[in-house]
Amino acid sequence: MSALIETRHLSKAYGGFLALDDVSIAVQAGELVSVVGPNGAGKTTLVNLLTGLLQPTSGDVLFMGTSVAGVGPVTLADHGLARAFQLIQIFPQLTVAETIGTAVVSRQKKRWRLFSPLAADGEISARVRDVANIFGLDHRLDTMAATLSQGEKKLLDVASAFALDPRVILLDEPTSGVSTADKHGIMKTLIEAAKTAGVQGILLVEHDMDLVAAYSHRIIALSEGKMLADLPTADFFADPRLIETVIGKRRGH
């Protein structure tokens, strides 16, 4: 069976600079795979290639066996890949219900309904309420996104991605900008929500090694664009030199 999402010998060069060099990774059904590495290791480039935003210099990106290299985020979202951003992305002037509704409209393929009233569509509003419920935003449905607290904005950002019913979700530092105390709370909510929503695989890009250790099945380490390791979590943390590379260089910055 093909992996949910995988890269094959993926490379990306910017001019003469090789940002990503021959990277082959795969996320299988039921897995949470973390990508770690110091700043400048190529994590962002990898994410942008995985979401079809960038065209690879060589190699391929496959989603459920189909090549999706460079097809763009819209097509990938339609295929079933969702992304939550490192920096919180919201629609400032949309309410919580409208934000989640945007994804639900896409998912239910109702985007070209020009004249049917959104408010009267029970199918959409039911799904919006369900998703808001999972993320504890149900009491905020009519609140303007710009006026939410920082933590709620983060939840809304992720909730809207989940509303696509994705098969795979790509979490780009989902707990950045959240207090240390809340990090585990948010991760637990995310993983619980992923199960409820039927998400089959999660790719997590994360700096916080505590979170990586607690929730990953497998860890992929990148350094200077190259793959350093692809190991089960326990094996990864059994190798002190590997941890040194990943964390040590990060502290150096």
Partner 1 sequence: MKLPHAAIVAIAGTAVLALLPLVAPPYYASLMVPFFGYAIALLGFNLLFGYTGLLSFGHAMFLGFGAYGAAVVAGVFGIKSFEAVLVLVTLAAMAAALPIGFLCVRYVGIFFGMLTLAFGMLFHSFLFKFYHLTGGDSGMRVPRMNILGLEFAKYNKIEFLAEPFYYYCLALLVIAGLLMWRIVHSPFGLHLRAIRDNARKAEYLAVHVRRFRLAAFVISAGYGAIGGAILGFRVGLADPELVYWTQSGQLVFMAVLGGFANFFGPIVGALAFTLLQDQLQSLTQYWRFILGAILALIVVGFPGGIVGLAEGLRRRRARAA
**Cα–Cα dist 168/248, whole Å:** 31
Torsion of CA 81, 131, 87, 28, to 10 degrees: -30
| Closer to partner 1 by Cβ: residue 1 or 119 | 119
**Cα–Cα dist 234/239, whole Å:** 9
Which DSSP helix (H) or strand (E) runs through 179? none
Q: How far apart are the first and last CA of the chain?
A: 41
Query: Which of 18, 31, 72, 151 is in the footprint of partner 1 by CB under 8 A?
Result: 72
Per CB under 8 A, 112 contacts partner 1: yes
Q: Return the range that interacts with partner 1 (CB under 8 A); candidates 22-30, 66-74, 181-189, 217-225.
A: 66-74
Per CB under 8 A, 160 contacts partner 1: yes
Q: Return the range that interacts with partner 1 (CB under 8 A); candidates 42-50, 63-71, 85-93, 235-243.
A: 85-93
Are the C-beta atoms of residues 53 and 72 closer than 8 Å to each other?
yes
| Closer to partner 1 by Cβ: residue 1 or 114 | 114
Per CB under 8 A, 115 contacts partner 1: yes
Per CB under 8 A, 17 contacts partner 1: no
**Local structure of residue 165 (DSSP, 8 states):** -
**Local structure of residue 57 (DSSP, 8 states):** S
- Report which residue type is found at 146: A
Are the C-beta atoms of residues 97 and 145 closer than 8 Å to each other?
no
Per CB under 8 A, 141 contacts partner 1: no
Per CB under 8 A, 77 contacts partner 1: yes
User: φ, ψ for residue 83 (rounded to 5)?
Assistant: -135, 135
User: Which parts of 210-229 interact with partner 1 (CB under 8 A)?
Assistant: none
User: Which parts of 34-53 interact with partner 1 (CB under 8 A)?
Assistant: 51
* Pairing label, strands 168-172, 26-27: unpaired
Per CB under 8 A, 183 contacts partner 1: no
Query: Which of 35, 124, 137, 246 is in the footprint of partner 1 by CB under 8 A?
Result: 124
Binding site for partner 1 (CB under 8 A): 51, 72-74, 77-78, 82-83, 85, 89-94, 98-99, 101-103, 105-107, 110-119, 121, 124, 157, 160-161, 163-164
